[in-house]
Amino acid sequence: MKSESTNRPRDLAAETIENHIIDEGLKPGDRLPSERDMCDKWGFNRATLHSAIRRLVEEGVLVSRVGSGTFVASPRPVIKLQGAISFIESVRAMGYEPEARVIYAIVTEADSHVSKKLSVPMGTKVFSLCRTRYIDGTPASIETTFIRAQGCPGIEAHDFGEESFYQVLREQYGIALVHGRERLSVTTVDETEAENLDIAEGEPAFYQSAVMTDESGTPVEYFKSTVLPQRLSFFSERHWSQTPGEGATVNV
C-alpha cells in the first residue's frame, strides 16, 4: 500500500501533463513549459514533477534534451501482440523506415533452454540469428531467433540485414509459421545490449519471447527480443466470449 500511495502524486502529475498536451493541442516537437513553471502552475513539487516527466519519457510520450527542455515526442511505432503483421510492416505503416543490422548469424548447438523451447535434444544443430532493429536510424530492439537447422541448409549464408527472415523460410525452405505463444515482461538492458542499443546499462526495457509452430503444432522458431519502450510499443485486443461478469473468457 505504501508504494501505491507514493506513486499517486507522480501519476497525477503525469496525467496533468498529458491533459495539458491535449488541451493545448501540442504537436510532436512542441516544447513544454519549464519544470519550474509547471510546478507553479499545477502545485506539484519538483521531485514529483521530475518523476512524472521521467515516466512519460520512458513511455515515449515526451523527450528530454539536456539544456533545451522537454518536448512532445513523435508517436512510436506499435506492434500488435499475436498479430500477423511483421516488425517491418508495422513500422512502415506508421511512416517510419525500418532497418536491421546483423550481429551474428551462425549454426550452433542447442543448449538446454533452446532445446526445451524447440522440443529437440540438447546439441541439436540450430540456426541462431541476432539482429539490432532500427527505426529511422535509431536502435529500437535486439532480437535473437533460433530455428532447427535441419531442413534449412545454407540459411546462414543469407544476408538478413537486407532479406526478410520469414520470407526466406517460406519461399526457399517451404516453412510456414502458423501459430505462436508470446510472453511480454519487463527487464533491464545488460552491458552488451546497452552498447548495441546506444543507451545506458540498466535502463528499463520490454522482454518479449515466443515459440512459433507450423500447422502440425511442431515448434519451428524460438525468439526473444529486448525492446526499448521509448522507441516501440505494443498493444493487444481484448474480446469477451460472453457477457462480462457471467463467467466470460477474455482473450488478450
Residues making up the chain, counted from first to last: 252
pLDDT given at position 144: 95
| Residue 180 one-letter amino acid | G
Q: What is the pTM of this model?
A: 0.68
Query: Residue 172 and residue 152: Cα distance in Å, rounded?
Result: 9
Query: Residue 176 and residue 192: Cα distance in Å, rounded?
Result: 32
User: Residue 58 pLDDT more than 90?
Assistant: no
* 43-56 tens-digit pLDDT: 999 999 999 998 88
**Cα 199 to chain center, whole Å?**
15
* 69-114 tens-digit pLDDT: 999 988 776 665 555 456 777 788 778 898 999 999 999 999 999 9
Using only C-alpha atoms, the chain has a radius of gyration, in whole angstroms, of 22
> What's the helix, strand, coil split of the chain in %, to 5?
30, 35, 35
Tell me the three state secondary structure of residue 174: coil
Taking the C-alpha atoms of 188, 51, 19 and 1 in order, what is their torsion angle to the nearest 10 degrees?
Answer: 80
CB 126 within 8 A of CB 109: yes
Mean pLDDT of 13-30: 92
* 196-233 tens-digit pLDDT: 999 999 988 989 999 999 888 899 999 999 999 878 87
pLDDT given at position 57: 85
The partner residues of 69 in beta bridges, in order of sequence, read 65
- Report the share of the chain in percent with pLDDT over 70: 86
pLDDT given at position 10: 86
CB 103 within 8 A of CB 132: yes
pLDDT given at position 30: 95
DSSP letter at 242? S
**Cα 85 to chain center, whole Å?**
14
**CATH (residue range 2-72):** 1.10.10.10
Mean pLDDT of 184-194: 90
pLDDT given at position 183: 85
Domain residue extents for the chain: 2-72, 78-235
Q: pLDDT class for 152, splitting at 50, 70, 90?
A: very high
CB 211 within 8 A of CB 117: yes
Q: pLDDT class for 1, splitting at 50, 70, 90?
A: very low
Q: Mean pLDDT, the chain, as a whole number?
A: 85
Architecture per CATH, domain 78-235, reads as 3-Layer(aba) Sandwich (3.40)
Query: Residue 168 and residue 177: Cα distance in Å, rounded?
Result: 12
pLDDT given at position 31: 95
